[in-house]
Amino acid sequence: MDTVLLPLFAGIAAGVWLYARSIPQGGRSWWPLVAATIALVAVSRLAGHGWGAMLLAFAAELVAAALILSRGTPAAAAAARLFLGAMVAGTAAIATALALTGFGTMQPAAPLDKVAVALLMLGFALKLGLVPVYFWLPAVARASSVMTTAVIVAVVDVAGFCELLALREAMPWVFEGYAAVWIALALASLLGAGLLALAQSELKPMLAFSTIHDMGYLLLGVVLGGPEGMAGAWFAILGHALGKLVMFGAVGAAEWHLGAPPTLDTRGLSSSLPVAGAAFMLGALAFVGIPPTVGFLGHWRLYLAGAELGGPVLLAALFAGSAMGILCYVRAIHRTWLGPAGGTAGGPALPRAAAAVLLAFAITPVVLGLVPGAVGVAAPEAAVHATAPDVPPAAVAASLNTAASVAGGVK
Protein backbone atom coordinates (compact mmCIF):
# COMPACT_ATOMS: atom_id res chain seq x y z
CA MET A 1 0.00 0.00 0.00
CA ASP A 2 2.91 2.38 0.60
CA THR A 3 3.54 2.25 -3.15
CA VAL A 4 0.03 3.66 -3.59
CA LEU A 5 0.44 6.28 -0.87
CA LEU A 6 3.51 7.86 -2.43
CA PRO A 7 1.80 8.86 -5.71
CA LEU A 8 -1.19 9.99 -3.66
CA PHE A 9 0.99 12.25 -1.50
CA ALA A 10 2.81 13.57 -4.57
CA GLY A 11 -0.52 14.39 -6.22
CA ILE A 12 -1.75 16.09 -3.06
CA ALA A 13 1.43 18.19 -2.90
CA ALA A 14 1.00 19.31 -6.52
CA GLY A 15 -2.69 20.04 -6.04
CA VAL A 16 -2.16 22.00 -2.82
CA TRP A 17 0.58 24.05 -4.52
CA LEU A 18 -1.69 24.98 -7.45
CA TYR A 19 -4.64 25.72 -5.17
CA ALA A 20 -2.57 27.89 -2.80
CA ARG A 21 -1.11 29.90 -5.70
CA SER A 22 -4.57 31.17 -6.57
CA ILE A 23 -6.23 31.15 -3.13
CA PRO A 24 -3.53 32.12 -0.60
CA GLN A 25 -3.39 29.86 2.47
CA GLY A 26 -0.71 31.61 4.51
CA GLY A 27 2.42 33.73 4.46
CA ARG A 28 5.82 33.02 2.93
CA SER A 29 6.62 30.23 5.35
CA TRP A 30 3.39 28.33 4.65
CA TRP A 31 4.34 26.41 1.51
CA PRO A 32 7.83 25.33 2.68
CA LEU A 33 6.20 23.94 5.83
CA VAL A 34 3.59 22.09 3.74
CA ALA A 35 6.30 20.65 1.48
CA ALA A 36 8.37 19.57 4.48
CA THR A 37 5.36 17.92 6.15
CA ILE A 38 4.44 15.90 3.07
CA ALA A 39 8.07 15.00 2.29
CA LEU A 40 8.75 13.77 5.84
CA VAL A 41 5.57 11.69 5.82
CA ALA A 42 6.51 10.15 2.46
CA VAL A 43 10.04 9.33 3.64
CA SER A 44 8.67 7.82 6.85
CA ARG A 45 6.55 5.42 4.79
CA LEU A 46 9.57 4.49 2.67
CA ALA A 47 11.55 3.81 5.86
CA GLY A 48 9.31 0.86 6.75
CA HIS A 49 7.97 0.26 10.24
CA GLY A 50 10.94 0.67 12.60
CA TRP A 51 12.13 3.34 14.99
CA GLY A 52 13.49 5.44 12.14
CA ALA A 53 10.08 5.58 10.50
CA MET A 54 8.48 6.57 13.80
CA LEU A 55 10.95 9.41 14.32
CA LEU A 56 10.40 10.68 10.77
CA ALA A 57 6.62 10.60 11.25
CA PHE A 58 7.00 12.50 14.53
CA ALA A 59 9.19 15.06 12.77
CA ALA A 60 6.39 15.51 10.19
CA GLU A 61 3.94 16.13 13.04
CA LEU A 62 6.24 18.75 14.57
CA VAL A 63 6.42 20.56 11.23
CA ALA A 64 2.63 20.29 10.90
CA ALA A 65 2.30 22.00 14.29
CA ALA A 66 4.49 24.83 12.97
CA LEU A 67 2.26 24.93 9.88
CA ILE A 68 -0.81 25.51 12.06
CA LEU A 69 1.04 28.13 14.10
CA SER A 70 2.17 29.98 10.96
CA ARG A 71 -1.25 31.57 10.53
CA GLY A 72 -0.25 33.91 13.33
CA THR A 73 -3.57 34.23 15.18
CA PRO A 74 -4.27 33.47 18.85
CA ALA A 75 -6.71 30.74 17.79
CA ALA A 76 -4.05 29.16 15.57
CA ALA A 77 -1.51 29.25 18.41
CA ALA A 78 -3.99 27.53 20.74
CA ALA A 79 -4.83 24.91 18.09
CA ALA A 80 -1.12 24.28 17.44
CA ARG A 81 -0.53 23.67 21.15
CA LEU A 82 -3.42 21.19 21.28
CA PHE A 83 -2.17 19.38 18.19
CA LEU A 84 1.42 19.28 19.42
CA GLY A 85 0.39 18.01 22.85
CA ALA A 86 -1.67 15.22 21.29
CA MET A 87 1.14 14.20 18.93
CA VAL A 88 3.80 14.18 21.69
CA ALA A 89 1.61 12.19 24.07
CA GLY A 90 0.50 9.81 21.31
CA THR A 91 4.04 9.18 20.10
CA ALA A 92 5.26 8.57 23.65
CA ALA A 93 2.45 6.07 24.30
CA ILE A 94 3.04 4.16 21.05
CA ALA A 95 6.83 4.15 21.48
CA THR A 96 6.48 2.75 25.01
CA ALA A 97 4.10 0.04 23.80
CA LEU A 98 6.43 -0.93 20.96
CA ALA A 99 9.39 -1.04 23.32
CA LEU A 100 7.46 -3.45 25.54
CA THR A 101 6.74 -5.70 22.56
CA GLY A 102 10.12 -5.53 20.84
CA PHE A 103 8.45 -3.56 18.06
CA GLY A 104 5.92 -6.29 17.49
CA THR A 105 8.26 -9.28 17.69
CA MET A 106 6.90 -10.66 20.98
CA GLN A 107 3.91 -10.65 23.28
CA PRO A 108 4.98 -9.68 26.79
CA ALA A 109 3.75 -11.58 29.81
CA ALA A 110 0.73 -10.34 31.77
CA PRO A 111 0.09 -7.66 32.84
CA LEU A 112 2.53 -5.94 30.46
CA ASP A 113 0.58 -7.21 27.45
CA LYS A 114 -2.49 -5.32 28.65
CA VAL A 115 -0.39 -2.23 29.32
CA ALA A 116 0.99 -2.37 25.76
CA VAL A 117 -2.49 -2.67 24.25
CA ALA A 118 -3.83 0.20 26.37
CA LEU A 119 -0.90 2.41 25.33
CA LEU A 120 -1.39 1.58 21.65
CA MET A 121 -5.09 2.42 21.88
CA LEU A 122 -4.37 5.70 23.64
CA GLY A 123 -1.55 6.62 21.26
CA PHE A 124 -3.48 6.04 18.05
CA ALA A 125 -6.63 7.62 19.48
CA LEU A 126 -4.65 10.80 20.17
CA LYS A 127 -2.92 10.83 16.80
CA LEU A 128 -6.08 10.15 14.79
CA GLY A 129 -8.32 12.35 16.93
CA LEU A 130 -10.72 9.61 17.95
CA VAL A 131 -13.51 10.00 20.51
CA PRO A 132 -13.08 10.82 23.38
CA VAL A 133 -9.67 12.50 22.76
CA TYR A 134 -10.69 14.32 19.60
CA PHE A 135 -10.13 17.82 21.02
CA TRP A 136 -7.38 18.98 18.62
CA LEU A 137 -9.00 18.30 15.24
CA PRO A 138 -12.03 20.65 15.45
CA ALA A 139 -9.76 23.37 16.87
CA VAL A 140 -7.33 22.99 13.96
CA ALA A 141 -10.19 23.07 11.42
CA ARG A 142 -11.58 26.30 12.88
CA ALA A 143 -8.26 28.11 13.28
CA SER A 144 -6.29 26.99 10.20
CA SER A 145 -6.58 27.58 6.49
CA VAL A 146 -8.48 24.83 4.69
CA MET A 147 -5.44 23.36 2.97
CA THR A 148 -3.53 23.21 6.26
CA THR A 149 -6.32 21.07 7.71
CA ALA A 150 -6.58 19.05 4.49
CA VAL A 151 -2.86 18.21 4.56
CA ILE A 152 -3.10 17.08 8.20
CA VAL A 153 -6.20 14.98 7.53
CA ALA A 154 -5.28 13.57 4.10
CA VAL A 155 -1.54 13.06 4.63
CA VAL A 156 -0.46 13.04 8.29
CA ASP A 157 -3.52 11.17 9.60
CA VAL A 158 -3.62 8.79 6.64
CA ALA A 159 0.02 7.85 7.21
CA GLY A 160 -0.70 7.26 10.90
CA PHE A 161 -3.62 5.02 10.03
CA CYS A 162 -1.48 3.04 7.60
CA GLU A 163 1.02 2.46 10.40
CA LEU A 164 -1.86 1.04 12.44
CA LEU A 165 -2.67 -1.26 9.53
CA ALA A 166 0.95 -2.44 9.47
CA LEU A 167 0.78 -3.20 13.20
CA ARG A 168 -2.41 -5.21 12.59
CA GLU A 169 -0.37 -7.54 10.45
CA ALA A 170 2.76 -7.57 12.63
CA MET A 171 0.96 -7.80 16.00
CA PRO A 172 -2.36 -9.61 15.46
CA TRP A 173 -2.65 -10.56 19.15
CA VAL A 174 -3.11 -6.86 20.02
CA PHE A 175 -6.37 -6.78 18.06
CA GLU A 176 -7.63 -10.35 18.22
CA GLY A 177 -7.30 -10.72 21.99
CA TYR A 178 -8.86 -7.35 22.75
CA ALA A 179 -11.32 -6.99 19.87
CA ALA A 180 -14.26 -5.90 22.03
CA VAL A 181 -12.33 -2.93 23.46
CA TRP A 182 -11.08 -1.83 20.03
CA ILE A 183 -14.62 -2.13 18.65
CA ALA A 184 -15.91 0.04 21.50
CA LEU A 185 -13.35 2.72 20.58
CA ALA A 186 -14.32 2.50 16.91
CA LEU A 187 -18.05 2.69 17.61
CA ALA A 188 -17.61 5.60 20.03
CA SER A 189 -15.94 7.55 17.22
CA LEU A 190 -18.40 6.38 14.58
CA LEU A 191 -21.52 7.23 16.55
CA GLY A 192 -20.31 10.01 18.86
CA ALA A 193 -18.55 12.03 16.17
CA GLY A 194 -21.48 11.44 13.83
CA LEU A 195 -23.76 13.16 16.32
CA LEU A 196 -21.26 15.97 16.84
CA ALA A 197 -21.01 16.52 13.06
CA LEU A 198 -24.77 16.85 12.85
CA ALA A 199 -24.70 19.43 15.65
CA GLN A 200 -22.41 21.82 13.72
CA SER A 201 -23.66 24.84 11.80
CA GLU A 202 -20.28 25.87 10.33
CA LEU A 203 -18.93 23.65 7.55
CA LYS A 204 -15.25 23.46 8.59
CA PRO A 205 -15.86 21.94 12.06
CA MET A 206 -18.56 19.75 10.51
CA LEU A 207 -15.94 18.32 8.14
CA ALA A 208 -13.58 17.83 11.09
CA PHE A 209 -16.10 15.82 13.11
CA SER A 210 -17.10 13.78 10.06
CA THR A 211 -13.41 12.91 9.65
CA ILE A 212 -13.43 11.42 13.16
CA HIS A 213 -16.71 9.68 12.33
CA ASP A 214 -15.17 8.02 9.28
CA MET A 215 -12.11 6.95 11.26
CA GLY A 216 -14.48 4.83 13.30
CA TYR A 217 -15.36 2.89 10.13
CA LEU A 218 -11.71 2.50 9.20
CA LEU A 219 -10.72 1.32 12.66
CA LEU A 220 -13.44 -1.32 12.55
CA GLY A 221 -11.91 -2.68 9.35
CA VAL A 222 -8.54 -3.00 11.06
CA VAL A 223 -9.99 -4.73 14.13
CA LEU A 224 -12.19 -7.13 12.18
CA GLY A 225 -9.30 -8.03 9.89
CA GLY A 226 -9.66 -10.81 7.36
CA PRO A 227 -9.57 -10.20 3.61
CA GLU A 228 -12.75 -8.09 3.61
CA GLY A 229 -11.91 -5.97 6.64
CA MET A 230 -8.35 -5.17 5.58
CA ALA A 231 -9.20 -4.60 1.91
CA GLY A 232 -12.12 -2.43 3.01
CA ALA A 233 -9.81 -0.33 5.15
CA TRP A 234 -7.31 0.05 2.27
CA PHE A 235 -9.93 1.24 -0.22
CA ALA A 236 -11.80 3.37 2.31
CA ILE A 237 -8.68 5.28 3.36
CA LEU A 238 -8.24 6.42 -0.26
CA GLY A 239 -11.83 7.64 -0.39
CA HIS A 240 -11.27 9.27 3.00
CA ALA A 241 -8.17 11.18 1.87
CA LEU A 242 -9.47 12.27 -1.53
CA GLY A 243 -12.98 13.09 -0.31
CA LYS A 244 -11.77 15.24 2.56
CA LEU A 245 -9.20 17.03 0.40
CA VAL A 246 -11.76 18.06 -2.19
CA MET A 247 -14.44 19.02 0.37
CA PHE A 248 -12.07 21.19 2.39
CA GLY A 249 -10.92 22.74 -0.88
CA ALA A 250 -14.53 23.50 -1.89
CA VAL A 251 -15.26 25.05 1.50
CA GLY A 252 -12.08 27.11 1.15
CA ALA A 253 -13.32 28.36 -2.23
CA ALA A 254 -16.60 29.36 -0.60
CA GLU A 255 -14.74 31.16 2.20
CA TRP A 256 -12.64 32.97 -0.43
CA HIS A 257 -15.79 33.99 -2.28
CA LEU A 258 -17.78 35.07 0.79
CA GLY A 259 -14.99 36.56 2.87
CA ALA A 260 -16.25 34.49 5.81
CA PRO A 261 -16.57 30.78 6.69
CA PRO A 262 -19.68 29.20 5.08
CA THR A 263 -22.40 27.89 7.37
CA LEU A 264 -25.69 26.06 7.01
CA ASP A 265 -27.35 29.47 6.87
CA THR A 266 -25.43 30.30 3.68
CA ARG A 267 -27.64 29.69 0.66
CA GLY A 268 -27.15 28.86 -3.00
CA LEU A 269 -23.36 28.80 -3.21
CA SER A 270 -23.49 26.62 -6.32
CA SER A 271 -25.07 29.50 -8.21
CA SER A 272 -21.86 31.50 -7.81
CA LEU A 273 -19.40 28.59 -7.46
CA PRO A 274 -20.73 25.74 -9.64
CA VAL A 275 -17.39 23.92 -9.86
CA ALA A 276 -16.83 24.06 -6.10
CA GLY A 277 -20.41 22.90 -5.50
CA ALA A 278 -20.06 19.94 -7.86
CA ALA A 279 -16.68 19.04 -6.34
CA PHE A 280 -18.12 19.11 -2.82
CA MET A 281 -20.93 16.78 -3.85
CA LEU A 282 -18.59 14.30 -5.57
CA GLY A 283 -16.21 14.43 -2.60
CA ALA A 284 -19.09 13.69 -0.25
CA LEU A 285 -20.09 10.67 -2.38
CA ALA A 286 -16.57 9.27 -2.14
CA PHE A 287 -16.32 9.97 1.56
CA VAL A 288 -19.56 8.31 2.65
CA GLY A 289 -19.05 5.40 0.26
CA ILE A 290 -21.64 5.87 -2.48
CA PRO A 291 -21.11 3.96 -5.77
CA PRO A 292 -19.29 4.14 -8.10
CA THR A 293 -16.52 5.74 -6.00
CA VAL A 294 -13.52 4.03 -4.41
CA GLY A 295 -15.08 4.84 -1.04
CA PHE A 296 -17.91 2.46 -1.91
CA LEU A 297 -15.41 -0.34 -2.55
CA GLY A 298 -14.10 0.18 0.96
CA HIS A 299 -17.35 0.65 2.84
CA TRP A 300 -19.00 -2.30 1.11
CA ARG A 301 -16.18 -4.59 2.27
CA LEU A 302 -16.41 -3.18 5.78
CA TYR A 303 -20.12 -4.01 5.81
CA LEU A 304 -19.39 -7.55 4.67
CA ALA A 305 -16.77 -7.97 7.40
CA GLY A 306 -19.11 -6.51 10.01
CA ALA A 307 -21.99 -8.78 8.99
CA GLU A 308 -19.79 -11.87 8.99
CA LEU A 309 -17.94 -11.30 12.24
CA GLY A 310 -20.18 -9.05 14.32
CA GLY A 311 -23.64 -10.17 13.29
CA PRO A 312 -26.78 -8.02 13.10
CA VAL A 313 -25.86 -5.91 16.14
CA LEU A 314 -22.66 -4.57 14.59
CA LEU A 315 -24.33 -4.27 11.20
CA ALA A 316 -27.08 -2.13 12.76
CA ALA A 317 -24.42 0.14 14.29
CA LEU A 318 -22.76 0.50 10.88
CA PHE A 319 -26.11 1.37 9.29
CA ALA A 320 -26.73 3.98 11.99
CA GLY A 321 -23.30 5.49 11.36
CA SER A 322 -23.88 5.60 7.60
CA ALA A 323 -27.25 7.26 8.11
CA MET A 324 -25.63 9.99 10.20
CA GLY A 325 -22.94 10.60 7.59
CA ILE A 326 -25.39 10.75 4.70
CA LEU A 327 -27.77 13.03 6.61
CA CYS A 328 -24.89 15.35 7.51
CA TYR A 329 -23.82 15.83 3.89
CA VAL A 330 -27.30 15.88 2.37
CA ARG A 331 -28.19 18.68 4.76
CA ALA A 332 -25.02 20.65 3.91
CA ILE A 333 -25.54 20.20 0.17
CA HIS A 334 -29.23 21.10 0.33
CA ARG A 335 -28.89 24.12 2.60
CA THR A 336 -25.51 25.59 1.66
CA TRP A 337 -24.83 24.67 -1.95
CA LEU A 338 -28.18 24.19 -3.68
CA GLY A 339 -31.17 26.47 -4.11
CA PRO A 340 -31.37 30.15 -5.05
CA ALA A 341 -28.48 32.40 -4.13
CA GLY A 342 -29.00 34.11 -0.80
CA GLY A 343 -26.58 37.01 -0.77
CA THR A 344 -23.68 34.91 -2.04
CA ALA A 345 -23.18 36.71 -5.36
CA GLY A 346 -20.67 39.50 -5.84
CA GLY A 347 -17.57 37.86 -4.39
CA PRO A 348 -14.48 36.90 -6.41
CA ALA A 349 -14.90 34.04 -8.86
CA LEU A 350 -13.13 30.74 -8.30
CA PRO A 351 -9.67 30.95 -9.93
CA ARG A 352 -9.13 28.50 -12.77
CA ALA A 353 -6.19 26.75 -11.12
CA ALA A 354 -8.20 26.10 -7.95
CA ALA A 355 -11.16 24.91 -10.02
CA ALA A 356 -8.91 22.50 -11.94
CA VAL A 357 -7.53 21.08 -8.67
CA LEU A 358 -11.02 20.58 -7.23
CA LEU A 359 -12.26 18.86 -10.38
CA ALA A 360 -9.22 16.58 -10.57
CA PHE A 361 -9.51 15.43 -6.98
CA ALA A 362 -13.31 15.11 -7.24
CA ILE A 363 -13.15 12.90 -10.34
CA THR A 364 -10.27 10.70 -9.14
CA PRO A 365 -12.34 8.71 -6.58
CA VAL A 366 -14.90 7.95 -9.28
CA VAL A 367 -12.21 6.76 -11.70
CA LEU A 368 -10.62 4.57 -9.03
CA GLY A 369 -14.03 3.15 -8.17
CA LEU A 370 -14.70 2.25 -11.80
CA VAL A 371 -11.19 0.89 -12.37
CA PRO A 372 -10.18 -0.53 -8.95
CA GLY A 373 -7.23 -2.38 -10.47
CA ALA A 374 -5.55 0.99 -10.98
CA VAL A 375 -5.19 1.25 -7.21
CA GLY A 376 -3.04 -1.84 -7.13
CA VAL A 377 -4.47 -3.09 -3.82
CA ALA A 378 -7.48 -5.11 -4.90
CA ALA A 379 -6.14 -7.99 -2.85
CA PRO A 380 -3.57 -6.43 -0.53
CA GLU A 381 -0.97 -8.67 1.03
CA ALA A 382 -1.93 -7.51 4.47
CA ALA A 383 -5.48 -8.68 3.87
CA VAL A 384 -4.36 -12.12 2.78
CA HIS A 385 -2.22 -12.74 5.85
CA ALA A 386 -4.52 -11.12 8.41
CA THR A 387 -6.78 -13.30 10.49
CA ALA A 388 -10.15 -12.20 11.68
CA PRO A 389 -10.88 -12.19 15.41
CA ASP A 390 -13.69 -14.27 16.77
CA VAL A 391 -16.10 -11.59 17.98
CA PRO A 392 -19.14 -13.10 19.68
CA PRO A 393 -22.42 -11.13 19.59
CA ALA A 394 -22.26 -10.62 23.37
CA ALA A 395 -18.89 -8.90 22.99
CA VAL A 396 -20.29 -6.67 20.26
CA ALA A 397 -23.25 -5.75 22.47
CA ALA A 398 -20.87 -4.94 25.32
CA SER A 399 -18.81 -2.82 22.93
CA LEU A 400 -21.92 -0.92 21.88
CA ASN A 401 -22.82 -0.24 25.51
CA THR A 402 -19.29 1.02 26.21
CA ALA A 403 -19.30 3.14 23.05
CA ALA A 404 -22.69 4.61 23.97
CA SER A 405 -21.36 5.53 27.42
CA VAL A 406 -18.32 7.25 25.92
CA ALA A 407 -20.34 9.01 23.21
CA GLY A 408 -22.96 10.06 25.75
CA GLY A 409 -20.25 11.75 27.80
CA VAL A 410 -18.95 13.78 24.85
CA LYS A 411 -19.91 17.41 25.02
pLDDT at position 383: 37
pLDDT at position 386: 42
Q: What is the pTM of this model?
A: 0.90
pLDDT at position 343: 60
Measured CA to CA, the distance from residue 197 to residue 202 in angstroms comes to 10
Give the Cβ contact number of residue 391 at 10 Å: 22
pLDDT at position 104: 76
In tens digits, what is the pLDDT along the chain, a chain of 411 residues? 566 788 899 999 999 999 999 999 988 899 999 999 999 999 999 888 788 999 999 999 999 999 999 999 999 999 999 999 999 999 999 999 999 998 878 889 889 999 999 999 999 999 999 999 999 999 999 999 999 999 999 999 999 999 998 899 889 999 988 999 999 999 999 999 999 999 999 999 999 999 999 999 899 989 988 888 888 888 999 999 999 999 999 999 999 999 999 999 998 899 899 999 999 999 999 999 899 999 999 999 989 888 887 788 888 999 999 999 999 999 999 999 987 776 666 678 899 999 999 999 999 999 999 987 766 554 343 333 444 455 555 555 555 555 555 555 554
pLDDT at position 183: 93
Phi and psi of 207, rounded to 5°? -65, -35
Identify any residues that bridge with 263 across adjacent strands, giving them in sequence order. Answer: 202
pLDDT at position 228: 83
Provide the 8-state DSSP code for 349.
Answer: P
Ranges of H-type helices in 129-202: 136-143, 146-151, 157-170, 172-176, 179-187, 193-198
pLDDT at position 377: 52
Contacts of 346 (CB under 8 A, 6+ apart): none
pLDDT at position 381: 39
Give the Cβ contact number of residue 51 at 10 Å: 12
Measured CA to CA, the distance from residue 64 to residue 68 in angstroms comes to 6
Q: Are 132 and 411 in contact (CB under 8 A)?
A: no
Dihedral sign computed on CA atoms, order 159, 89, 213, 169: positive
Phi and psi of 390, rounded to 5°? -85, 105
Measured CA to CA, the distance from residue 329 to residue 361 in angstroms comes to 18
